[in-house]
Amino acid sequence: MAEITDDIRERVKKIVCDILEVEPAELTETTVYTEEFGADSLAVIEILTALEDTLDVSIDQAEAPRMVSLAGIYDVLAEA
């Protein structure tokens, strides 16, 4: 996925907010949600799985540790 468009950013943020049950205003691009909201490793895996389902990409679960912020997710998606 070469280009992370605004549309993709918006969809990613909605997925993350829905799974973590947080308001979009609470989540900036650099918020580390495992620290800020206490999200555990399975929450990150759920986000990863939801992104695969929604964006039709395949993401190695080994990437999960990088996917603890929106910015981290965009980086991983750009390489997916």
The reply to whether 14 sits near another protein by the rule CB under 8 A is: no
The reply to whether 22 sits near another protein by the rule CB under 8 A is: no
In the numeric block, which tokens belong to residue 2? 């070469």
Minimum separation from the CB atom of position 61 to another protein (A)? 7
Out of 14, 32, 57, 61, the only residue in the binding site for another protein (CB under 8 A) is 61
**Residue 75 a catalytic site member:** no
Binding positions for another protein, 28-47, rule CB under 8 A: 41-43, 45-46
